Amino acid sequence: MINFFKKKDKQVLKPGSLPDHIAIIMDGNGRWAKKRALPRTAGHAAGAETFRRVATYCKDIGIKYLTVYAFSTENFNRPQGEIDAIMGLLEKYLYESIEKMERDKVKMKFLGDTSVLSPKLQELIAKTEELSKKFDGVQVNICLNYGSRAEILKAVRDIAKALYLEHDTASSHEDALSELTEDTFANHLYSADIPDPDLIIRPGGEMRLSNFLLWQAAYSEYYFTDTLWPDFNEKELDRAIAVYQSRERRYGNIQPRRELSKP
């Protein structure tokens, strides 16, 4: 049983108003390593361990969805050795996750263009997602080779292709476009069937989204902290959630929208 009262920090979390979906930009691994005169790969290894702890904690306190920005499309511009190290850590994590999924009941989904990854990684991703279909627990979404602008362009291309194949005249194209809604557009994103994040957390001191969930973040609450990702822990997450719980979410209205009570 999780104790939502943190005596040291005088932090009180209200279980009934936890965010359903938390998204995290895992930033600061390289700077963490540099401060310790370590190679950047050591920072990524420490960040991977932080991810394990945070994901487990989210499961324990009842968060339904956790989405993490693991590797962006732009990250492929980094030195090949660093890319290989990150992919090696991911491969190791997936092997371990597959072994533990039956016990932990954690679902996993990958958002992004995984077609450019190694055959071994693609195989592990497919196996992980297939096993996940059996479980109803917390869902961890890993954004890998992900960029939000590319995701939106993919959705537009998919919709245009569908229009071209299903409608053979300009007038029928126009009629179909007039019926396009936010929901139907969202169904063509990588995150289809996943609710938008309630809370987006960015450790590492930067205050930007860096091409992360641009469509989905329209009404998310943001929390920025100078803590580097490898130093991020359960108490840091509690602080972020407490700030989220202190805010009134208006969604463009004058009065806050009262959310339904969550079990």
Q: Indicate the number of domains in the chain.
A: 1
The answer as to whether 19 is a domain residue is yes
Mean local confidence (pLDDT), 168-193: 80
Percent of the chain, pLDDT > 90? 72
Mean pLDDT within 110-123: 95
Residue 84 structural domain: 11-147+195-246
Residue 110 lies in a domain: yes
Q: What is the pLDDT of residues 242-262, one digit of tens each?
A: 999 999 887 777 666 555 444
- Out of 3, 9, 20, 27, pick the active-site residue: 27
**What local confidence, expressed as pLDDT, does residue 225 receive?**
98
Question: Would you say residue 232 lies in a domain?
Answer: yes
Instruction: Please tell me the predicted confidence (pLDDT) of residue 251.
Output: 74
Q: Could you tell me the pLDDT band of residue 173, with boundaries at 50, 70 and 90? A: low
**How would you list the strands of the sheet with 65-72, edge to edge?**
107-111, 139-146, 65-72, 21-25, 199-202, 221-224
What band does 125 get if pLDDT is binned at 50, 70 and 90?
very high
Active-site residue, selected from the candidate residues 20, 29, 75, 253: 75
Three-state SS sequence of the chain: CCCCEECCCCEECCHHHCCCEEEEECCCHHHHHHHCCCCHHHHHHHHHHHHHHHHHHHHHHCCCEEEEEEEEHHHHHCCHHHHHHHHHHHHHHHHHHHHHHHHHCCEEEEECCHHHCCHHHHHHHHHHHHHHCCCCCCEEEEEEEECHHHHHHHHHHHHHHHHHHHCCCHHHHHHHHHCCCHHHHHCCCCCCCCCCCCEEEECCCCCCCCCCCCCCCCCCEEEECCCCHHHCCHHHHHHHHHHHHHCCCCCCCCCCCCCCCCC
pLDDT for res 5: 42
Of 63-77, 83-97, 159-173, give the lowest mean pLDDT range: 159-173
* 174/3: higher pLDDT: 174
- pLDDT for res 33: 97
Mean pLDDT of 101-113: 88
- Round to whole Å and give the CA distance between 47 and 54: 10
Q: Any idea which of 20-24, 100-104, 134-138, 223-227 has the lowest mean pLDDT?
A: 100-104
Active site residue 27: yes
Q: What is the CATH number of the domain that holds 32?
A: 3.40.1180.10
**Per-residue model confidence (pLDDT) at position 38:** 97
pLDDT score recorded for residue 147: 97
pLDDT computed for residue 201 by the predictor = 98
Instruction: Establish whether 113 is a catalytic residue.
Output: no
pLDDT given at position 166: 65
- Show the tokens assigned to 205: 């001191």
At 179 the pLDDT is 73
Give the closest residue to 28 by CA, choosing from 39, 18, 40. 40
What is the C-alpha to C-alpha distance for residues 247 and 252, in angstroms, rounded to an integer? Answer: 14
Q: What is the pLDDT of residue 98?
A: 86
Q: What is the mean pLDDT of the chain?
A: 88
Res 24: pLDDT? 98
Residue 183 falls within a domain, yes or no?
Answer: no
Domain contains 24: yes
Span 51-72, average pLDDT: 95
Q: Sorting pLDDT into bands at 50, 70 and 90, what band is 162?
A: confident
Q: Is the residue at 103 inside a domain? A: yes
pLDDT score recorded for residue 135: 83
Confirm whether 31 is domain-assigned: yes
> Residue 173 falls within a domain, yes or no?
no
